[in-house]
Amino acid sequence: MKKIITIVGARPQIIKAAALSRIIRNEYSNQLQEDILHTGQHYDERMSSIFFEEMNIPAPTYQLHVGSGFHGEQTAKMLQGIEAILLKEKYDGVVVYGDTNSTLAGALAAAKLQIPIFHVEAGLRSYNFAMPEEQNRILTDNLSTILFCPTQTSINNLRFEGWETSGIKKGEISLVGDVMFDNALYYSKIAQQRSTILKELKLQPEKYILFTIHRNLNTDNISRLTNCLNSLLSLAEKTTIVFPIHPRTQHIAEEKLSTIWTKLSQHKNIIIIPPASYFDIIQLEKNASVIVTDSGGVQKEAYFFERPCIILRNETEWIEIVRHHAAILTDDNKEQILKAYETLQNKNIHYAPLFGDGNATQKIVTQIISTLEQKK
Ligand code: UD1
Ligand code: UDP
């Protein structure tokens, strides 16, 4: 029996970890044991425990309660906490997801102790090194034993950087598809049966925009946040908006943009709600006319559920969505956002399969097991 530890901390990682945990427990429990370590990067009930409950993820074996802070401070606390656990327990491998500070801390702690690292959602690039996510993912990729890539673009990015071509020994790359797509397929019906959010908010299908914004690129820059929220006010003149708000965005808007925040909160067409549960957000995504977001995960889910998307950035790691004309990059430009809304509403989009066959998680688990078996 091999033993791995999965490191999570931020909302999207908990959601992705649900897919792997489910397959390990249901199909491979005689070959692989999984412990979960939660760094505590996200800690509000609606940013963390709600997903464990809803998606039936086993409670973390370890909780570091690191909380918020400067990136260096936060990552350092995680690194120290994770290392102590990796020294105490003998794990055969460490699984990390995506590109947050929790991802980097997990990979770095494991690399120093020479424990194999499995990076799920590897190879993504924005080519904007100012993004903390870009720093985290490049560093993590370079430390990883197997890089599980969700898209052909992510494979191409790694080859461009010398994986398999430079002659320098690097981690193995594997095109498996996207675990979030697996999740979307698995939970779509369940969410439809269990979520009552459309009824609660009195929403008609395809008669509202779903809006989310949280990336520090948009929220820490007051002029960009002002532009995005002013665009939201203009969109609200045309249709209803549902805005599940990330705590980061709410703190900044309340503190630094009180005039706009008051307008948003009082607008008759804008429904601001706390961070949604996974089942509720899926229902909101599936029934929106258009999704406006800077979230990586929400962009992809828009594509999975065949909803057009406006991306509040000027680049994206999921560029194939834009190339397939299912999403438009508008940055924080109000004119472009309003124009994109008109364009996308009337567009006939062909949603070609871009994110695998729905079996990414199976492929990942079997490859982890075979790699660890070979290391005997
Ligand atoms: C982090 C990730 C980002 C990811 C996002 C997913 C990094 C560098 N960033 O960004 O890539 O897209 O998670 O949601 O790892 N806060 C709360 N309660 C919480 C969590 C956060 O109030 O439960 C507030 C705090 O004021 C905190 C701020 O949100 O300072 C930012 O949290 P943090 O985890 O540092 O970054 P995110 O913006 O969430
Ligand atoms: N999500 C959620 N509730 C919300 C907003 C997002 O459950 O109110 C989910 C979303 O469906 C996706 C994941 O969180 O599965 C994306 O995470 P987030 O937007 O926080 O970060 P990113 O993907 O940009 O790193």
Q: Say yes or no: CB of residue 210 within 6 Å of ligand 2.
A: no
243: which 2 tokens? 């805005």
The CA distances from residue 160 to 128, 133, 244, 314, in Å, are 16, 19, 37, 22
Helix axes 334-345, 222-235, angle to 10 degrees: 40
307: which 2 tokens? 């909803």
What's the CA-to-centroid distance between 81 and ligand 1, angstroms? 19
Candidate list 38, 42, 119, 214, residue with the active-site label = 214
In ligand 1, the atom with minimum distance to the C-alpha of 216 is 38
Q: Say yes or no: CB of residue 281 within 6 Å of ligand 2.
A: yes
pLDDT given at position 167: 81
pLDDT given at position 279: 98
Ligand found nearest the CA of 9: 1
Asked if the model's pLDDT at residue 127 lies above 80, the reply is yes
144-167 tens-digit pLDDT = 999 999 999 999 999 999 998 888
For this structure, is 214 an active site residue?
A: yes
Q: Calculate mean pLDDT across residues 29-51.
A: 98
- How many other C-beta atoms lie within 10 A of the C-beta of residue 160? 11
Q: Say yes or no: CB of residue 105 within 6 Å of ligand 2.
A: no
pTM check: above 0.75: yes
Cα–chain-centroid distance for residue 241?
22
90-112 tens-digit pLDDT = 999 999 999 999 999 999 999 99
What are the sequence ranges of the domains in the chain? 2-178+357-374, 186-345
Band of residue 353 on the pLDDT scale cut at 50, 70, 90: very high
In ligand 1, the atom with minimum distance to the C-alpha of 47 is 23
299-322 tens-digit pLDDT = 999 999 999 999 999 999 999 999
In ligand 1, the atom with minimum distance to the C-alpha of 101 is 15
Q: Calculate mean pLDDT across residues 46-56.
A: 98
Ligand found nearest the CA of 294: 2
Dihedral class, residue 325 (left if φ above 0, else alpha if ψ from -120 to 50, else beta): left
Secondary structure tally for the chain: helices H, strands E: 17, 13
pLDDT given at position 376: 64
Asked if the model's pLDDT at residue 57 lies above 90, the reply is yes
Percent of the chain beyond pLDDT 90? 97
211 phi/psi in degrees, rounded to 5: -125, 130
Q: Calculate mean pLDDT across residues 369-376.
A: 89
266-281 tens-digit pLDDT = 999 999 999 999 999 9
Does the domain at 2-178+357-374 match CATH 1.10.10.10? Answer given as no
- How many other C-beta atoms lie within 10 A of the C-beta of residue 159? 14
pLDDT given at position 99: 98
For the chain, the average pLDDT equals 97
Q: Which CATH class is domain 186-345?
A: alpha beta
Nearest to 288 by CA among 214, 345, 228: 345
Asked if the model's pLDDT at residue 175 lies above 80, the reply is yes
Query: Strand pairing partners for 34?
Result: 4
Are the beta carbons of 8 and 14 closer than 8 angstroms?
yes
* Residue positions counted in the chain: 376
- Asked if domains 2-178+357-374 and 186-345 share a fold, the reply is yes
* DSSP letter, residue 211: E
